Amino acid sequence: MKDYLFPKDFWWGSASSATQMEGAANKDGKGKNIWDHWYEIEPNRFFKKIGPSETSQFYARYKEDIALMKELGHNSFRFSISWSRLIPTGEGEVNPKAVQFYNQVMDELWNQGIEPFVNLYHFDMPFELQEKGGWESREVVKAYVKYAETCFDLFGDRVKKWFTHNEPIVPVENQYLYGHHYPALCNFQKCVQAGFHSILASAIAIRAYHKRNLGGKIGIILNLTPSYPRSQHPADVEAAKIADAFFNRSFLDPSVKGTFPSELVDILKKEGFMPHIEDGDITLIKENTVDLLGINYYQPRRVKAKENLFNPNAPFMPERYFDYHDMPGKKMNPYRGWEIYEKGIYDILMNVKENYGNIECFISENGMGVENETRFLNEEGMIEDDYRIEFYEEHLKWVHQAIKEGSNVKGFHVWTFIDNWSWLNAYKNRYGLVSVDLDKDCKRTVKKSGYWFKKLAVTGLI
């Protein structure tokens, strides 16, 4: 047992995002974001047509929820500020009701001995700003920086761990390539521009934060998906390297090292998709890198060399350079359709140690979404989610191994505390340590994994 004892001051907690758990999307002056808008015009995009307006009720029940977090051993909790709640049209006037809400949440967290980790952007572009082009537009970069500065000035006295974005590649690829987020375009040029602007916005926000000398740290949260080649054949290895440049290093390198991977830049140049870059942008990115890295890990990426020639007339996709490899016998989470590969978390941490200066980092999300969990209700009305406990334990063993080998990993946040609304799957797959009963006014009930988590956080032992 002693083999899996974690450091005393390890950050144990969970992660969440405003749109997914606050609810009250039309209340107290909140403006519309792209999710509110998309649901209005295309509710069929969402599982069982459940939209973002009344998600998990954290806005109304934050006190009860924070008390439960304390009860379940949290020493830290990550949430995001809803940009369109704080600044309803994305730029301009600040909404005093939002300031009051976030002040209360932060104060309540500290009262319960839980450190707030605050993320600024979690997929929720204010609708008016999307109308101006969203991340494609330089104007939106300016509006984001203003929003970030407003947050630092309002809450910087109580928040000592800030994050500029959660998984910035996800909105970019889903808005501009794969059709999962509004406006669901398929345009690689816009995708690259939006990606570049989110990196630039992050760097400018980091500069603004550091200038203020508020005594905290600022980082970014990235979803890292280690790319494994089907075989050691040079063509497979090359394919995995390119996939890694597109999906990991595209944001990891500029965020931590201030540079872009040359493999990616070469492809963008060759294919004619370089973004518009203004004088000073590259220096700014170089000089304003993160203090801290959040790593979200759910699944690996298995890759092989292309089997067929691509259609040169089709819209450009990164998949022109590799194919996905459906590895026989892989362990799966069938509900989400994601492979479970626990060692991936260790490979990421070792990569960060060896190639990214062993920057201070933590696992900012890891979790398992499962459908129809009421199947596992016991006589006392508790969901016995042993599969989730096993999922976490197996990942944590690899985190522990990484610590033994010198990784600078400081904590582990699960996704998520209470069941919440997923971007497209709504309430289909549940991730929480605590269940939410949608038929009973979102009644909260701790799952078996919640009690398991408490023991883990209190003893530091698995």
Q: What does the binding site for ligand BG6 look like in residue numbers (CB under 6 A)?
A: 17, 20, 166-167, 170, 223, 296, 336, 365, 369, 415, 422-423, 425, 429
Cβ distance to ligand BG6 smaller for residue 121 or 152: 121
d(C-alpha 128, C-alpha 89), whole Å = 6
d(C-alpha 206, C-alpha 102), whole Å = 21
d(C-alpha 126, C-alpha 84), whole Å = 5
Cβ distance to ligand BG6 smaller for residue 403 or 418: 418
Known catalytic membership, residue 365: yes
Report the nearest approach of ligand BG6 to the CB of residue 167 (Å).
Answer: 5
Cβ distance to ligand BG6 smaller for residue 102 or 423: 423
Residue identified by tokens 């549940």 is 430
Known catalytic membership, residue 380: no
Catalytic residue among 115, 128, 136, 365: 365
Report the nearest approach of ligand BG6 to the CB of residue 171 (Å).
Answer: 10
Q: Which residue is nearest to ligand BG6 (CB)?
A: 422
Report the nearest approach of ligand BG6 to the CB of residue 17 (Å).
Answer: 5
Cβ distance to ligand BG6 smaller for residue 194 or 305: 194
Report the nearest approach of ligand BG6 to the CB of residue 424 (Å).
Answer: 7
Report the nearest approach of ligand BG6 to the CB of residue 243 (Å).
Answer: 18
Cβ distance to ligand BG6 smaller for residue 20 or 288: 20
d(C-alpha 449, C-alpha 27), whole Å = 33
Report the nearest approach of ligand BG6 to the CB of residue 437 (Å).
Answer: 19
Report the nearest approach of ligand BG6 to the CB of residue 247 (Å).
Answer: 13
Cβ distance to ligand BG6 smaller for residue 65 or 167: 167
Report the nearest approach of ligand BG6 to the CB of residue 365 (Å).
Answer: 6
Cβ distance to ligand BG6 smaller for residue 20 or 435: 20
Cβ distance to ligand BG6 smaller for residue 156 or 171: 171
For residue 316, which amino acid is it? Answer: F
Catalytic residue among 22, 167, 173, 342: 167
Q: 3-state SS string over the chain? A: CHHHECCCCCEEEEECCHHHHCCCCCCCCCCCEHHHHHHHHCHHHCHHHCCCCCCCCHHHHHHHHHHHHHHCCCCEEEEECCHHHHCCCCCCCCCHHHHHHHHHHHHHHHHCCCEEEEECCCCCCEHHHHHCCHHHCHHHHHHHHHHHHHHHHHHCCCCCEEEEEECCHHHHHHHHCCCCCCCCCCCHHHHHHHHHHHHHHHHHHHHHHHHHCCCCEEEEEEECCCEEECCCCHHHHHHHHHHHHHHHHHHHHHHHHCCCCHHHHHHHHHHCCCCCCCCCHHHHHHHCCCCEEEEECCCCEEEECCCCCCCCCCCCCHHHCCEECCCCCCCEECCCCEECCCHHHHHHHHHHHHHCCCCCEEEEECCCCEECHHHHECCCCCECCHHHHHHHHHHHHHHHHHHHCCCCEEEEEECCCECCCECCCECCEECCCEEEEHHHCCEEEECHHHHHHHHHHHHCEC
Q: Which residues are catalytic?
A: 167, 365
